Amino acid sequence: MTPTVPLREESMAKPASTAASRVRHWLSGLSTSGRVGLALVILWLVLGAAGPLLAPYDVGAFVSPEVFDGMSTRHWLGSDYLGRDVLSRLLSGAQYTVGLALASALLASATGAGLALTATVSPRWVDEVISRFMDTLISIPSKVFALVLVAAFGSSLALLLLIAAATYTPGAFRIARALAINLNQMDYVQVAYARGEGRLYIATAEIMPNMIHPVLADFGLRFVFIVLLLSGLSFLGLGVQPPNADLGSLVRENISGLGDGALAILAPAMAIATLTIGVNLLIDALPGRGRRITGGR
Amino acid sequence: MGAAQDHVQVSGLRITAPAAGGQETPIVSDVDFTIPRGQVLALIGESGSGKTSIAQALMGYARGGCRIAGGGVRVGDTEILTLDASQLRTVRGSRIAYVAQSAASAFNLSRTIMDQVVETAVGRGLISRPAAEAKAVSLFRALALPQPEAIGGRYVHQLSGGQLQRLMAAMALMTDPELVILDEPTTALDVTTQIDVLRAFKRVVRQQGATALYVSHDLAVVAQVADRIVVLQRGRIREAGDATQVLERPADIYTRTLMAAARPPAQASPQRPAPQQAPPLLEVRGLTAGYGRVEAGVPKIPVLRDVTLSIAKGTTLGVIGESGSGKSTLARVIAGLVAPAGGQVLFQGQPLAPTLSGRTREQFQRIQLVFQNADTALNPAHTVSRILGRPLAFYHGMDGRARNRRVAELLDLTQLPAGLADRHCGELSGGQKQRVNLARALAADPHLILCDEVTSALDTVVGTAILDLLAELRRELDLSYLFISHDISTVRAICDDIAVLYAGQKVEMGPRNGFGDAPVHPYTDLLIGSVPEMRRGWLEEKEMAATLPPLATAQSANLCCFLPRCAARVEGLCDRLPPPRIVLGGGNELLCHHDGQALQHLQRGRQSAISP
């Protein structure tokens, strides 16, 4: 539902003959920061997909006698608190952060926006039911909620994905609903109602295109939150199970190296930073949003 | 006139805006004018003529992205354009003051009016707070605001648009500025309010001896206040001179176009079909509507009360009234967006369901709604071809080539270039947007178009072109319109019948010829008499509306709704009994205690604002 970066490219690839020129046209309309963001996002998507294949060592292997070792030709990013290769752990961990956080953020934003649109164009009681259900969900502390579910079902990637999505859906819903309710009062939407249009058309064709950009900005924020939530869960031992680790838990487990400025903690922290900044740069630069330039004072 | 006497001098002013590819396009070029001390100069032109940009340049300000590229602005002996930011700050708001168009959005909602009025003067240490408040109260009194001692303690939502506009003028005048810039200060007001505001502005600016720059698109308003007039078109001066000379003997053809557009001539209505036995196209019977919970047939916030009207096929009914009179709600009820609390709407003899869900696609198709503001009525995410193509696909099942062909036809019909089809509506001008808005309604192939203030947001010249288009479409496509407006001259120009709404009640209805001369309903009389005429001195001739004594009895729902403002009311009758419906010789149906002769007598002195 929510067009994301990959979806966007996919939809552009339909007419094969013009796809290349359209992508080129789209790229030329992108600002410099947008291109940097796009490059970072693509880099992390590739690393997330191919990382484990590129890793020089096994993820759990103790390969260095030194802990918190610096850069060397054998270990490009040094070693961690147990003497494991940081680069290998980073490359293997990227898939969890990129895949899991991206998927749950997508799920949360798409569900939130979808429910918000439903609530907006439906009769009042549907809105009430959805909104009160979301209020209930938002009142459950996310860590306790995760703890209970993991205790009941055992930790698995699918469960983590659902927990993260469920935790962040109510917030996404609230923001999207506020946007959609305002747009629903716009004259062009009222004209569509007076034309006799169905609810589905009004939600998807009239309202959604005009709220997509704030929703994407919200998606970027939620993505960062989910990375943090997942690393918090990993710290409690509820997240990605050792010897595997996502980027967040790499930071957590090497926290004792912070005083020495060890690469083992800087590298995953930098990785999280480039990923989240890249996603947000790209979202901010998406086309058709000249507001800052034309409307600015 | 020697340069030494001129208080304000603008010479060779050039302002540029950024354009694609790093280029700059000029939006104002080579503008020269002077204002002698204590005089009022009016800048007049359509939107995009650069009048607001020039006004802002007088304060050394250029809007986001724009740049003052050259020329000079001298106020007194200060060269404004050579000042740096901190010097400008001391000049703005103390020596030069600005009154913007929309006072309602210029005030802070969460602070009292008095706080905001005295803020600049006190904040700069020009005057102590108690002295400032005393001065503000005297300004409130001079501007004829009600309860001048108490009004400063109120908040924005407790005041009307006309009051806020005057309060904003008081705010501007607090520091005794030598130059006041008024940017379309009465454009957003009703005519009946405008006249009071103009009068107050004029008197106070004169009392203070300030020089003023008055920006407007309305020549008739300018005629009342200006000593000199500068006519602008696309950032260049077309004509400049003494107000009387420009108004009476305009030298430039563009000025004449503007004057002609200000008072649209009556459109010859097509031969009115002989009264048929067939039911009228649209019939509204005893309609009551509003917002909030409905109790005993009356909504909590009633907007329309017992409105009855009908539109025959091929005719145009004008609905006129002030803001808040329920005009737009009427259109929304007919379109099905607001469910009525009582009464019926019949279309081609068939009752229409109160809500959207009960209506058939055929009914949706035959009644189309066109909103006032094309900026918000067109989806910014869609291209023109998508906007026009949707009703074609939705009602007529057209797709592909047939749809593209019809979109091109519609663009042609509304006199738009075919190349517009792939543009987003954000790239179009105001007039083009309104044409697209109209074309979308036409795409449905309707019988009735509900036009809600379709020309109000447009310049007079563009608005006149839209009115011509409406008339032409009506001839070609046999359309009927419900034409809602607050401007009686527009309504009289294109409508066959006129209904006057006041506070949700229909106080008068009749053929347009019945509105040319007395007798009319006292409210209609007030409306017609408040339209400024395009000659100097009209405002002075217009006697001050006598302040009416407060009503002895409380206003009740059954009594005449115009009672508190009616100059012709009769004590003991109007405040006791509900007014009857009477029919005058000219065919007008009125809600009034007076009969035709009495009204004729009361209104005899009135010169018709619009000669029939």
| pLDDT per residue as tens digits for the range B315-357 | 999 999 888 788 889 999 999 998 999 899 999 989 999 988 8
pLDDT at A16: 46
Average confidence (pLDDT) over B26-38: 90
Q: How far apart are CA A78 and CA A64, in angstroms?
A: 9
- Can you tell me the ipTM of this complex? 0.79
Q: Are B337 and A186 within 8 A, CB to CB?
A: no
* B299: pLDDT strictly greater than 50: yes
Q: How far apart are CA B104 and CA B170, in angstroms?
A: 14
Q: How far apart are CA B264 and CA B249, in angstroms?
A: 19
* B134: pLDDT strictly greater than 90: yes
State the CATH class of domain B282-515. Answer: alpha beta
Helix axis angle for B129-142 and B191-208, nearest 10°, is: 130
The answer to whether A137 touches A166, Cβ cutoff 8 Å, is: yes
pLDDT at A117: 96
Instruction: Tell me what the pLDDT averaged over chain A comes to.
Output: 82
Contacts of A186 in chain B (CB under 8 A): 376
pLDDT at B500: 93
Question: Residue A286 region, left (φ>0) first, then alpha (ψ -120 to 50), else beta?
Answer: beta
Q: How many CB atoms lie within 10 A of CB B531?
A: 18
Helix (H) / strand (E) element for B426: namely none
pLDDT at A203: 94
Contacts of B381 in chain A (CB under 8 A): 209-210, 288
pLDDT at B453: 86
Helix (H) / strand (E) element for B495: namely none
* B1: pLDDT strictly greater than 80: no
Helices (H) and strands (E) in chain B, counts: 21, 22
The answer to whether A183 touches A211, Cβ cutoff 8 Å, is: yes
**Cα torsion angle, B54, B56, B62, B64, sign:** negative
Query: At residue B186, what are phi and psi to the nearest 5 degrees?
Result: -115, 5
Domain coordinates of chain A in residue numbers?
A: 30-286
At B54-113, the pLDDT tens digits run 998 998 888 777 888 888 899 988 898 888 888 888 888 888 999 887 777 888 889 999
Fold for B36-50+89-258, please state it: Rossmann fold (3.40.50)
| B15-22, Cβ contacts within 8 angstroms, sequence gap of 24 or more | B15/B50, B15/B53, B15/B54, B15/B57, B15/B62, B15/B66, B15/B67, B15/B68, B15/B69, B15/B235, B16/B66, B16/B67, B16/B69, B17/B65, B17/B66, B17/B67, B18/B65, B18/B66
pLDDT at B275: 55
Q: How confident is the model at residue B200 (pLDDT cuts 50, 70, 90)?
A: confident
Q: Alpha helix (H) ranges present in B58-157?
A: 85-91, 103-106, 113-123, 129-142
- From A286's Cα to the closest Cα of chain B, the distance in A is 14
Instruction: Tell me what the pLDDT averaged over chain B comes to.
Output: 85
* A11: pLDDT strictly greater than 80: no
A185 close to B (CB below 8 A)? no
Residue with the larger pLDDT of the pair B481 and A74: B481
Average confidence (pLDDT) over B268-289: 74
- From A38's Cα to the closest Cα of chain B, the distance in A is 23
Under 8 Å CB-to-CB from B548, ≥6 apart: which residues?
Answer: B564, B565, B566, B567, B569
Q: How confident is the model at residue A2 (pLDDT cuts 50, 70, 90)?
A: very low
Q: Give the 3-state secondary structure of A110-169.
A: HHHHHHHHHHHHCCHHHHHHHHHHHHHHHCCCHHHHHHHHHHHHCCCHHHHHHHHHHHHH
**CATH 1.20.120.1200, domain A30-286, yes or no:** no
In angstroms, the Cα distances linking B97 to B92, B182, B188, B211 are 6, 8, 20, 11
* A5: pLDDT strictly greater than 80: no
Q: How confident is the model at residue B555 (pLDDT cuts 50, 70, 90)?
A: low
- From A211's Cα to the closest Cα of chain B, the distance in A is 10
pLDDT at A27: 77
Q: Are B369 and A194 within 8 A, CB to CB?
A: yes
Q: How many CB atoms lie within 10 A of CB B60?
A: 23
Q: Give the 3-state secondary structure of A5-41.
A: HHHHHHHHCCCHHHHHHHHHHHHHCCCHHHHHHHHHH
- From A290's Cα to the closest Cα of chain B, the distance in A is 11
Q: Are B378 and A293 within 8 A, CB to CB?
A: no
* B554: pLDDT strictly greater than 60: no
Contacts of B373 in chain A (CB under 8 A): 187
Of A187, A193, A195, the CB nearest to B376: A187
Helix (H) / strand (E) element for B466: namely helix B460-477
High-pLDDT (> 90) share of chain B, %? 27
Of B337, B379, B394, the CB nearest to A194: B337
Q: Give the 3-state secondary structure of B197-262.
A: HHHHHHHHHHHHCCEEEEEECCHHHHHHHCCEEEEEECCEEEEEEEHHHHHHCCCCHHHHHHHHHH
pLDDT at B268: 60
Which of the residue ranges A24-38, B174-188, B358-372, B446-460 has the most confident prediction, judged by mean pLDDT?
B358-372
Q: How far apart are CA A65 and CA B384, in angstroms?
A: 68
Q: What b/e string do you get for B584-599 counting C-beta neighbours within 10 Å, with b at 16 or more? A: bebebbbbbbbebeeb
Contacts of B364 in chain A (CB under 8 A): 194-196
- From B454's Cα to the closest Cα of chain A, the distance in A is 13
At A83-135, the pLDDT tens digits run 888 888 888 888 888 888 889 999 999 999 999 999 999 999 999 999 999 99
Average confidence (pLDDT) over B478-499: 89
Range from A281-290, B39-48, B250-259 carrying the lowest mean pLDDT: A281-290
CATH 3.40.50.300 domain position(s) in chain B:
36-50+89-258, 282-515
Contacts of B359 in chain A (CB under 8 A): 196
Q: Which residue of A has its CA nearest to B365?
A: A195
Average confidence (pLDDT) over B463-491: 88
At A201-232, the pLDDT tens digits run 999 999 999 998 889 888 888 887 888 788 77
